[in-house]
């Protein structure tokens, strides 16, 4: 029992405990905060489902609703910026419950002294991203705090969409035998951000994979695939997403390391930095859990979209108890555990 406690609560969370960077990392501590602070306070089915977006009925419409705050440092990085990230991130959370994203909000917290040109550049990027993703930014808010009270610019985007999937898309629908399809190579977003933050120069420039995923999800649904579960691979990367689904479904996920694509540039950077690419954040990658009879159609539909042209089956769901097992390159097997925090803070 003591071990159990340590597993679910690795940091002191008593009356004098404080927020640590790892609480925002998407790993075990973030999950602890959700389970110990937020879920007990707001007890309702939509929140308890723990999906990327809440799903509910309102005025006869089946809607999805989600929010994300973005604190990425630096604001501009190869392949994207905080504005593009904020639009695509929220669009993708709606896509992951099978919704067509429709309307976004934007809430800015700006630090006094931020160059207006930086704000203009961020806003222009948001407009371009919104156009690309087919959503409209319809409401917003701006607050300003004094110097040293924020870090240049934080952006919150919330989004509303119409649920298009006929059946729920959620960990609860995952079954033994389901196959796991990964939409492309992993690790680029985190390494792209880190390379600027730490002023690292790699032989090949590594660009964030930041991209909107609603169209490809729509394509999979239109191909008649009975999608059981979807998850984008943001904070904590592929390993964290698979762990969440394994824990929330109560099944075991087995993945084949050789099937997971990592570019040599990302692999090299990860080796240099001591990072595991399976835990590095992505912003345009996702996994789909589909029944075996639908997997061919799912892979074909995904490959029809540029953002998922390298989609492959990387694993399967087996009976088990909420864990993830990696079959390695040399044939060995190891647990792919949930980390305490994120390897890289402020990645999104």
Contact status: 160 vs its own copies (CB under 8 A): yes
Spatial CB neighbours of 280, under 8 Å, sequence gap ≥ 6 = 186, 187, 189, 190, 191, 237, 266, 270, 343, 344
In our burial notation (b when 16+ CB lie closer than 10 A, e otherwise), range 210-243 reads bbbbbbbbbbbbebebbbbbbbbbbbbbbbbbbb
Q: What is the gyration radius of the CA atoms in the chain, in angstroms?
A: 19
Q: Choose between 69 and 132: whose C-beta lies nearer to its own copies.
A: 69
Q: Shortest Cβ distance from residue 61 to its own copies (Å)?
A: 3
Q: Are 138 and 103 in contact (CB under 8 A)?
A: yes
> In the complex, what is the shortest distance from the CB of residue 316 to its own copies, in angstroms, rounded to a whole number?
30
| One character per residue 90-119, x = contact with its own copies (rule: CB under 8 A) | ------------xx-xxxxxxxxxxxxx-x
Q: How far is the CB of 173 from its own copies (least distance, A)?
A: 19
Q: Which range, of 151-159, 189-197, 311-319, 324-332, touches its own copies by CB under 8 A?
A: 151-159
Q: How far is the CB of 325 from its own copies (least distance, A)?
A: 29
Look up residue 79 and give its DSSP letter: T
Query: Of residues 77, 88, 154, 286, which one binds its own copies by CB under 8 A?
Result: 154
Three-state SS annotation for 279-336 = HCCCCCCEEEEECHHHHHHHHHHHHCCHHHCCCEEEEEEECCCCCEEEECCCCCEEEC
Nearest Cα neighbor of 331 from 233, 236, 234, 256 is 256
- Shortest distance in whole angstroms from residue 150 CB to its own copies: 5
136-145/99-111 β-pairing? parallel
Contact in structure between 39 and 248 (CB atoms under 8 Å): no
Residue 194's DSSP bridge partners are none
Q: Decide whether 81 or 254 has the Cβ nearer to its own copies.
A: 81
Total number of residues that touch its own copies (CB under 8 A): 83
Stretch that binds its own copies, among 144-152, 206-214, 243-251, 261-269 (CB under 8 A): 144-152
Shortest separation between residue 334's beta carbon and its own copies, angstroms: 29
Among 2, 3, 4, 148, binds its own copies (CB under 8 A): 148
CB 133 within 8 A of CB 88: yes
User: 250 in the Ramachandran plot: left (φ > 0), alpha (ψ -120 to 50) or beta?
Assistant: left
The span from the CA of 336 to the CA of 326, in Å, is 6
Q: What are the φ/ψ torsions at residue 263 (nearest 5 degrees)?
A: -65, 155
Identity of the residue, 72 or 182, whose beta carbon is nearer to its own copies in the bound complex: 72
Smallest gap, in angstroms, from Cβ of residue 63 to its own copies?
7
- Shortest spacing between CB 52 and its own copies, in angstroms: 9
Residue with smaller CB distance to its own copies, 138 or 200: 138
Q: 162 to 221, contacts with its own copies by CB under 8 A?
A: 162
Q: Would you call 1 helix, strand, or coil by DSSP?
A: coil
Distance CA 217, CA 189 (A): 20
Task: Kindly tell me which of 56 and 335 has the beta carbon lying closer to its own copies.
Answer: 56
Ranges within 17-76 binding its own copies (CB under 8 A): 17-25, 30, 33-34, 37-38, 41-42, 44, 46-47, 53-54, 56, 58-63, 65-71
User: Given the complex with its own copies, which of 39 and 247 has the nearer CB atom?
Assistant: 39
C-beta closer to its own copies: residue 34 or 200: 34
Q: What minimum distance in Å lies between the beta carbon of 50 and its own copies?
A: 10
Q: Which stretch binds its own copies (CB under 8 A): 135-143, 167-175, 274-282, 307-315?
A: 135-143
Q: Site mask, its own copies, residues 329-348, x = CB under 8 A?
A: ----------------xx-x
Judged by beta carbon, residue 167 or residue 333, the one nearer its own copies is 167
């Amino acid at each position: 029992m003591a071990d159990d406690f340590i597993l679910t609560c690795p940091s002191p969370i008593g009356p004098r405990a404080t927020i640590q960077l790892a609480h925002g990392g998407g790993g075990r501590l973030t999950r602890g905060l959700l389970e110990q602070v937020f879920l007990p306070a707001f007890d309702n089915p939509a929140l308890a489902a723990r999906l990327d977006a809440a799903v509910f009925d309102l005025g006869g419409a089946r809607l999805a609703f989600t929010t994300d705050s973005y604190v990425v440092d630096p604001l501009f990085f190869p392949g994207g910026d905080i504005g593009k990230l904020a639009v695509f991130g929220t669009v993708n959370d709606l896509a992951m419950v099978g919704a067509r994203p429709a309307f976004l909000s934007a809430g800015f917290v700006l630090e006094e002294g931020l160059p207006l040109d930086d704000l203009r550049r961020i806003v222009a990027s948001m407009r371009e991203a919104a156009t690309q993703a087919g959503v409209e930014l319809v409401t917003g808010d701006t607050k300003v705090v004094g110097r040293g009270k924020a870090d240049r610019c934080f952006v919150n985007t919330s989004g509303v969409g119409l649920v298009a999937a006929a059946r729920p898309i959620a960990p609860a629908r995952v079954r033994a035998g389901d196959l796991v399809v990964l939409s492309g190579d992993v690790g680029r977003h985190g390494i792209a951000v880190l390379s600027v933050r730490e002023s690292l120069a790699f032989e090949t420039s590594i660009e964030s994979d930041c991209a909107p995923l609603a169209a490809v999800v729509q394509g999979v649904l239109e191909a008649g695939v009975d999608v059981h579960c979807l998850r984008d691979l943001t904070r904590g990367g592929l390993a964290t997403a698979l762990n969440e689904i394994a824990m929330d479904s109560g099944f075991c996920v087995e993945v084949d390391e050789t099937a997971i694509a990592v570019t040599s540039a990302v692999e090299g950077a990860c080796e240099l930095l001591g990072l595991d690419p399976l835990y590095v954040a992505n912003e345009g990658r996702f996994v789909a859990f589909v029944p075996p009879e639908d997997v061919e159609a799912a892979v074909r539909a995904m490959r029809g979209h540029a953002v998922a042209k390298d989609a492959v089956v990387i694993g399967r769901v087996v009976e088990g108890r909420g864990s993830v097992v990696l079959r390695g390159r040399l044939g060995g097997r190891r647990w792919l555990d949930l980390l305490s925090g994120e390897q890289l803070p402020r990645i999104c």
